[in-house]
Each structure stands twice: as structure tokens, then as C-alpha cells.
Amino acid sequence: MKGKNSFSLLCLVSGLGSLYFRMPRQLPAQAALLVGVWQSILLYFVLRLVRKAGKDWKSSALVRGLLAFSFLFTASVDLLDLNRFYQSAYPNQLHGWLLGILLLGAAGMMTGGELRTLKHLTRLMFPLLGISLALLTLSCAGLFHTSNLTAWEGTEILREAFSLRDLIPWPEYLALALWGSREGTAPLFWVPAARTGISAFILTLAELALGDRGARWPAHSLSLLGQLSVFNRLEWIQITVWLLLLMTRLAFLIYLAGRLTENFPWWINTAAIWTGFLCLSMLDATRVWAVQRAVLWGTAGIILIRGLCRWEDPLKHWRSALR
Amino acid sequence: MEPLSKSLQENLDWLTASFGNTADCYTKKIRIAGVECAVCLLDGLGNLEKTWEMLLKRIGIQPLLGMNGEKLLAYIMEKSDYPTEKTPIRDREDLIFRLTAGMTVILLEGCDKALALGTQVMPYRAIAAPSTEGNVRGSQEAFTELLRVNVSLIRRLIRTTDLCVEYAQLGQRSRTEYALCYNQKLVPKALLNQTRETLQKVRIPFLLDSAYLVPFLRKGPFHLFSGMGNTERPAVAAAKICEGKIVILVNGSPFALVLPTFFAEHFESLDDYSTTALFASVIRLVKYIAFFLAILLPAVYVMAVRFLPEALPYQLLTIIAKGEADTPFPITLEMLLVLVVLEIIREAGLRMPKQLGHSVTLVAAVIIGDTAVKAGIMSVPVITVAAIAAIAMYVIPSLYEQITLLRLGFVLLAGYLGVAGLAAGLFFLAVMICGDAQGYPYTFPIVPWNRSVVRDGVLRRSWRVLARNDYTLGDVEQEDTP
């Protein structure tokens, strides 16, 4: 296994980590799939960012600072999304600040360890995810009715679906462009596909079982399901797995921030994420996401303007494959 | 290293001063072929009777013309029928080493070398069946405490020139001998050199068991899983050597240290290879289920009762509610109490004299199992869950320490923090499992995925397939960094 491959896998799990808690759209499953494909195409173009040969981006304090800030900010927003979801799913179970300490503590501990542990953990997440999705399907298979599938219609839903709101240049992809090379990045092609596939899969399951009676959040829809004999509800298994994925993502972001701010120990970055999370929790979710988009696009823009990255021909791979 | 003196008296004085007034250090001056000598041995380790039988034959020899210490040493080593060692003793450290190994040492006047005779007689426990690794079929031999015997047990199973055994000593106060056993063709050279160097640097007052070496061989931050295993079966040790792994035997310990040992290997046993492949695979899967049951069952139970009662079926919820209504403790505390009591019972059963075994069983079964429930101190569902978890743990005895610690941790996390606590605990477990074992991924062959998982990992194929593609440690890729 080449090192660059592992880095790409980390990005993949990292991308999946925030997926579950970021699916508030009430879209029919087919529309979700369509949106997923559209976003995958756009994301594929983002992933074609590569470092310009001979450019030493590490000497630029501005770029390093911006990237580090992007990592920490993204981690804070992820934690915020998770907390909002968690409090709505399990009200009064755990205070937000304690949840933050718990998850960041676990994630931070890992960055205090070795990177190879992080890589192995990433690989372990795929079978876990697969098993949990299989359990989920089994648990509600008895409720599936194809008549529940709703056809999407109207331009409003399409307009919302194709808005660029959710197209974000995630900072770990920028990191890959700056640190990594194009060798061994094949798994990266699976990033958009996996995101799309899982998103559409969960929405389809909820829709097959509940039709348009499903809750706004997929996880809430899932909590209404469950046919296994031992437990009436199995959504906690799903949520546990997604929490694991999110912790892996947090650990990865803390690790990346640590590589940029070598003078700071991991716990300072962890504390910064937690503080950011507490501050952002006072704001409205849509405003926070807008700020996040601005920060991440701004970082990507500055990196491009300074000539540190360039876009590789996105169709080169396909052309060579066709030849 | 301090060389021996040419003066016999000086050497004897040093020996007496070194051993002090110890009663088992035997020294006696004699004259062989007219040369003044001294016989030294540690009584009990060396055979005094056998020594004197040999010496008496020579004592009467007439002094030879021009004979001195040097010539006598050369004569005995080259022309006599004495069972001498290949090389003479040249320094004081070697002198102590040979004496403590049970040899008889003959110091000679006018010679700065000494003779070592193989007259060892070391009583040792007979080779018996293993006490901690039960199996139905296969070899029933276990290691004993004597290093040479243990090495011979392995040598008897691997009768090729590839088996290599290196001896060395450790422990400033005990100078315990240990042996590094490996297959010189299969062992990865980097691993061997790294292990050898690490052991040479170890500074420890005394070494009584191979487990003492684990923290020295395990580098990096805290890890729950060491990446090293132990076995008391020569057959298992031989099999590991044939896979290219290193086995460390320590004198006085019947447990061999095997490195590296992967996570999946804790779920394998010698019996797996004697039964059919299908049955062995099913049993291995059962063991994995038992591992997770042992760790997670009490925690999930506590979490479900405390935070997610609506997730439980109505009938089960009613039973739990009835049980909990009569007990004074919160569910988390109650579960922790039961788990701690189980550990106390286990520890008592392990340490106490065997004659008292029945009393502990009686107290545990009657007082805790029955009276505590009747008195309403503990509920039946909690005891049932804890008992299932405890039994599941004994399926994988080599992971006993880790399971016990993790189980208590999981109950605390899930009991007080709910689903997020359980997830944090699982994350910690995953991080611990994803460590490394002497530079190799501890999770091999599950992560990174390798076809060995279905060949001889989580599942097992038949011997016909296993024999076709022989697996060695060299097939496992070492770690890389991005």
C-alpha cells in the first residue's frame, strides 16, 4: 500500500464523516441521486487541483495560516452539525460542551499517536460502514413498498437541488493537492461516488419505507423504522458508526492542522476547535454554513491566485483510458 | 571484562569474596599430575559426586616432567576423556557464568585460564500438559522452567538447519539466560536486528518471566494491545518460528514470547488446524462475536436501559423495570458492582489454596448469585448480562486483561454519556487495535485487507489450500508513511 493511497483514503473517510449530519434536504430519492451525480462531477473537478511544480507553499505563512484556520474551522462546524443533530435525536442526554470534549478528546488522543494508526482506522471504517448499512436495510426491509417512492416534480426542487450551496472545496482536498502527488490517487475517484451512493441509499431506504411521511432529517426517518426482534430501534447503531466516522475526520483535521502549526501541540488545536464550536453554536446554522463556504472558497481562491495550485486537465484520465 | 589471574590463590580469594559466605559454593584444592588446582562448583547445580568420580582417576597420576598449569590445561582439553567445554574460561565474568550454569570449574596454578566441565544436574519440573492453553487434539506438551529443556522441545519439532538459537543474559542482579529462537531463512532481518539490539539495551534488575521484556520491545505511546503474544506450547512456538516469527524463551519461565503477534491470532488455536476447515471457521467467527459480547454487552444493556428504553421490546422492558424497581442502586453503578465482584471472585479463585476452592464457589453461587438477588441488592437481568459477558471473555483467554479493562470503561462511558459515550469508547478500541506490532500492522490480515483473511485469518481454508500457498511473515508488508 503506497503512502499516497492511504492519504487519499483518509480524505475519503473524512469526506464521509460529515455526510450523515449534513443531509437536511427533503428531496425525493431520485432527486437526491441526481443532485449527488451533479455534485460528484463538480467535486471531481475540485479534486483535479494539483500543486504547481517548483512552488514552495510551506514558506508562505499566509497560506499555512489560512489552511490551518480552514481545518480548525471545518472541524468546529462539523462538531456543531453533529451537536445539533444529536440534541434533536437524543434531547437532554448530553450537554453540547461535554459532547465536544468527549469527541475531540478521543480524536485528539489519536493525533497524539501515530499516523499509521489513523490510516488503519480509516480502513477499518469501511467494513463498519458496510455492516451498519446492511443492518439498517435488514431492520426495515419488511416495511419497504415501491409505491412509497415519490417522483420529483417542479422547478423549485430542481433549482434547490442544483444550487451550488453544497459544493464546498473541503480543506483536506486542498491539503491533498498541496502535499500529495497525483500518483496513487485512484481512490480519490471514489470520494464523490461514495458520497453520492451512500446519501442516495439512505434517502431511498427512508422513502421506500415511509414515503413522504419521513422526517426532515434522514436519521430521524430511520429512527421510525426497525423490525428486528431484539431492538425496536436500530438507529443508535447507525449513529454510533457515523460518530466514529466523524471522529476519524476530526482526528485527521487535527493532524493536518498540527502539521501546519508544528509549534503547537495537538491539544491546543483541539482546544481551538472546541472554542470555535462553542462560539458558533450561538449562531444560526445557515449563517454558519455560509461563513464556512466563504472561508473555504476564500482559502482556495488565495491558493490559486498565488499560483500554488493549478487545475490538471480533468478529462486527461478519461482520454488516456479511451485511447 | 576482568581476566583471570595466574595465581590460583588470588582467583580463589576473588571467588570467595564474590560469593561471600554462601553455603552452596564448593571449592577444594587438589593436585593433578603434580599441579596445584582447585575444584569449584555450585552444589545442586553441578553434580559433586560425578565430579569426584572423574577427578579421583587423575589425582593419582605421577607428576610429569616439566608439567605446569598451562600444559595441564592443554593436556586435559586435548588428550583426556574429561567432558570439557570447547573453550577454556578466560575472564571472571565467564567464570561466574559457567558456575551458575551448573558446570564444574577447575582453576590451575600458574595459568590464567580455567577448565569448565559439563557436570550439570538440574532438577526440573516434568514436562506436563499446558495449564492455560487447552486443546483437544494435537500435542499435549508444555514448556517447563529450564531453558535448555524448552529449547530442546522446539528443536525436536523443527529438525532442520534453519532453526537458530541465540543465548544471552539479562538482569543486573539475576543474570538470567534467555534464548532468541528463529528460522534464519524466514525471519525478516530488520525485525531480528531490531529485537536483538533492543534486548541488548535492556537494563532490568532481574528477569523472571518473558513478559518482563514486553514493555522494552513495545515502542511508542500507550497501547492496550502489545503486539506480542505468549504460549506455553512448544508446538505453537514451533509453528510461529516456521512463519518467520521470533520466539523468546527465558530461563525459569514456561511461557514463550512470540513477536510479532497480530490481533487475529488471538482467535486462533491449535485445534483449529486439526478440525475441518468449515468448523474451524465457524468457531473463529463465534470467538469474534464472543469478544465483542464480552466488551459491549454490559455497556449496551446499561445504555439501553438508561437512555433508550423505547428501543427495547415491551416484554424485555417490563422484566427489566420489575428487577430495577427493587434494587437501590442506579443501573450503571449496579452493573459496575457486579462486574467488580465477578473480578474479585475470579481473583480469589486464582490465588487461594486449591483446598479452599469449594468455599469460594459456594459463597459466589449462594450468597452473591441467590441471596443478593433475593435481598434486592442486585437485579436478575444485570447478573445475567454480566455472567454472559464473563463467560464470553473466557473464550479468548489471551485477551483477558484488555477485555476486563475495556468492559469497565465501556460501562462507565455508555452508562453516563449514552450513545456518544459508546461511540467514543469504540473509537478508543479501534485506535488501540489499529496499532502496530513490531513495525507490522497489528490488524493484519483484516486491515489492510489481505486474502489471508479467508485463507487463514478470520476464516480458515483446508490444509490442501494452506499447504499450496505457504504464509510467512515476509509476506506482510511493513508500515509506510505518507
B417: nearest CB among A7, A102, A247: A102
Q: What is the mean pLDDT of residues B70-91?
A: 86
In the block, residue with C-alpha cell 479467508: B454
Residues A187-206: pLDDT tens digits?
555 666 676 677 677 777 77
Closest CA to B410 of B425, B420, B424: B425
Taking CB atoms and an 8 Å limit, are B308 and A233 in contact across chains? yes
Residues A146-202: pLDDT tens digits?
887 776 666 666 666 666 666 677 787 777 777 765 544 555 556 666 766 776 777
pLDDT of the residue at B451 = 73
Taking CB atoms and an 8 Å limit, are A90 and B307 in contact across chains? yes
Residues B129/B142, Cβ–Cβ less than 8 Å = yes
In the block, residue with C-alpha cell 508488508: B477
**B422 contacts chain A (CB < 8 A):** yes
Torsion angle in degrees (nearest 10) through CA of B253, B254, B258, B264: -130
Chain B residue whose CA is closest to A242? B423
The grid coordinates of residue B368 equal 452473591
Residues A139/A226, Cβ–Cβ less than 8 Å = yes
In the block, residue with C-alpha cell 511544480: A53
Residues B70/B109, Cβ–Cβ less than 8 Å = no
**pLDDT at residue A316 greater than cutoff 60:** yes
The grid coordinates of residue B81 equal 576423556
Weakest-pLDDT range from A140-149, A285-294, B70-79, B232-241? A140-149
A-proximal residues of B, 425-444, CB under 8 Å? 426-428, 430-431, 433-436, 441-443
pLDDT of the residue at A190 = 62
The grid coordinates of residue B353 equal 489454596
B-proximal residues of A, 121-150, CB under 8 Å? 121, 123-124
pLDDT of the residue at A226 = 45
Whole-number Å distance between alpha carbons of A259 and A261 = 6
Helix (H) or strand (E) run with residue B39 in it? strand B35-42
User: In sequence order, what E strands does B343-439 have?
Assistant: 436-437
* B249 Cβ neighbours under 8 A, 6+ residues apart: B143, B147, B150, B151, B178, B179, B181, B210, B256, B257
Whole-number Å distance between alpha carbons of A175 and A257 = 10
Chain A residue whose CA is closest to B315? A230
What are the b/e assignments for A169-192, b being 16+ CB within 10 Å?
Answer: bbbbbbbbbbebeeebbebbeebb
Q: What is the DSSP letter of B367?
A: I
Q: pLDDT confidence of B201, banded at 50, 70, 90?
A: very high
Taking CB atoms and an 8 Å limit, are B418 and A90 in contact across chains? yes
Closest CA to A218 of A128, A129, A88: A88
B-proximal residues of A, 94-113, CB under 8 Å? 94, 98-99, 102-103, 105-107, 109-110, 112-113
B427: nearest CB among A113, A239, A244: A244
Taking CB atoms and an 8 Å limit, are B480 and A232 in contact across chains? no
Chain B residue numbers touching A106 (CB-CB < 8 A)? 424, 427-428, 431
| Domain residue limits, chain B | 8-117, 124-261+464-476+478-482, 287-433
Closest CA to B145 of B248, B250, B259: B250
**CATH of A3-304 given 1.20.120.330, 1.20.58.220, 1.20.1740.10, 3.30.70.260:** 1.20.1740.10
Of the residues B434, B438, B454, the best mutation for testing chain A's interface (the one with the most A CB atoms within 10 Å of its CB) is: B434
CA within 13 Å, CB half, B6 = 5
Q: How many CB atoms lie within 10 A of CB B408?
A: 17
Weakest-pLDDT range from A179-183, B335-339, B448-452? A179-183
Q: How many CB atoms lie within 10 A of CB B131?
A: 9
Tell me if ipTM is over 0.85. no
Weakest-pLDDT range from A59-73, A158-172, B164-178, B381-395? A158-172
Residues A31-40: pLDDT tens digits?
667 767 776 7
Torsion angle in degrees (nearest 10) through CA of B350, B352, B357, B362: -90
Of the residues B302, B427, B433, the best mutation for testing chain A's interface (the one with the most A CB atoms within 10 Å of its CB) is: B427
* B27 Cβ neighbours under 8 A, 6+ residues apart: B12, B15, B16, B38, B39, B40
Taking CB atoms and an 8 Å limit, are B419 and A229 in contact across chains? no
Taking CB atoms and an 8 Å limit, are A117 and B435 in contact across chains? yes
Q: What is the mean pLDDT of residues A253-276?
A: 83
Three-class SS of residue B207? coil
Closest CA to A258 of A75, A102, A12: A75
pLDDT of the residue at B143 = 94
- What is the DSSP secondary-structure string of B286-317? HHHHHHHHHHHHHHHHHHHHHH-GGGS-HHHH
Burial class (CB in 10 A: 0-12, 13-18, 19+), A94: buried
User: Amino acid identity, residue A255?
Assistant: Y
* A74 Cβ neighbours under 8 A, 6+ residues apart: A170, A171, A253, A292, A296
